[in-house]
Amino acid sequence: MEKRHEERLSTASPALLLYCRAGFEGECAQEITAICLAQRIHGNTQYADNSGFVEFIGDEQALVHWPDWRQLIFARQSLPRFARLDALARADRLTPIMAALHARGEAFREVWVEAPDTNAGKELAPLCKSFGNALVGALKRASLLDPRATRRLHVFFPQGDKVYLCAADPEASAPWPQGIPRLKFPRAAPSRSTLKLDEAFVSLLNESEQERWLKPGMRAVDLGAAPGGWTYQLVRRSIRVSAIDNGPMDRALLDSGLVEHLRTDGFRYRPKQPVDWLVCDMVEQPRRIAELIARWLGTGACKRAVFNLKLPMKKRYDETQACLARVRAVASDVRARQLYHDREEITVFAAR
């Protein structure tokens, strides 16, 4: 039976709405609580297990100093919520929502109608699409949709008769509906794990960084490379790769002329010369991976790294913090996120 951590809220109570992977609501709640306490913002989190979202209920200060989505590991999206409407009549959801928006009086540059990334949320997709079309028309008629406006309206349906209304600064919120970049699996890639590194580059690096740090001719090492899902993302950017794995690599990657396959232990291998990138998706205890990456960065064997930390079943937030602390001891820049294509893991970028 689902365990609930939620109570009925006042429509006017200020809150942050955080989207996350179903099953990681507890870690998301721990993270936002720690961040807000560090900024002396007091409040409490409320969520239902496996709901795919968390609320942080605080004071007005929480909305003024709400965290940028890039600061968060377990939240895909972070939004200031200004209204919550319960017990909506399924025959007319539009009227009470428009009443709340009229009362607010703010025009928005665009509107996203969303549902949680859960099985129940997927069943709401037709509602979100049809309601979104009706809402856009109503906003235009009310002069509440203006491309010159500064903020985006998020209309979030956790269920068909309940909605959260949020106003987001596009510069400080994830640029994809549901906080999920929509990536297409390339047919030439040898495994679906390729999408994790693709999403890591898109989510953890901005466009300028991608352009400067993923240049043709750079050199990379892929630890635990076989069959080549992560190597593929480097090769498609014309980066030369030393693929380290005792298992077989995809033949097309080897034929590219950009891949050297070395059948050796990923924990013992070191390049003769420093490389631009180290990537690692080995299945191993997270602290062992964190220690390995820290040694590469600390000794200057690589300039930058992207790696996965496979999290334990219990105390996942604490384990995450311990691993990141080890990497931060030698890295000047560490960014981490639980990606859409991750499961019981997080993906980390670190630079010297």
In which element (H, E) is residue 137 found? helix 125-141
Distance CA 244, CA 215 (A): 21
How do beta strands 15-20 and 75-85 pair?
A: antiparallel
- Give Cα separations from 217 to 87, 88, 130, 258, 344 (angstroms): 58, 57, 48, 9, 33
Q: C-alpha angle 317/323/329, rounded to 5°?
A: 130
Asked if 200 and 339 count as a contact pair (C-beta separation under 8 A), the reply is: yes
Distance CA 290, CA 247 (A): 23
The conformation of residue 70, written as its DSSP 8-state character, comes to G
Cα dihedral 203/273/290/194 (nearest 10): 40
310 is catalytic: yes
List 84's β-bridge partners, or say none: 164
Question: What are the structure tokens assigned to 101, written together?
Answer: 């928006």
Provide CB contacts within 8 A for 304, sequence distance 6+. 213, 276, 277, 278, 349, 350, 351, 352
**What type of residue is 162?**
K
Q: C-alpha angle 336/337/341, rounded to 5°?
A: 135
Query: Active site residue: 303, 310, 314, 315, which one?
Result: 310
State the angle between helix axes of 125-141 and 94-104 in degrees (0 to 180), rounded to the nearest 10.
50
Residues taking part in catalysis: 310
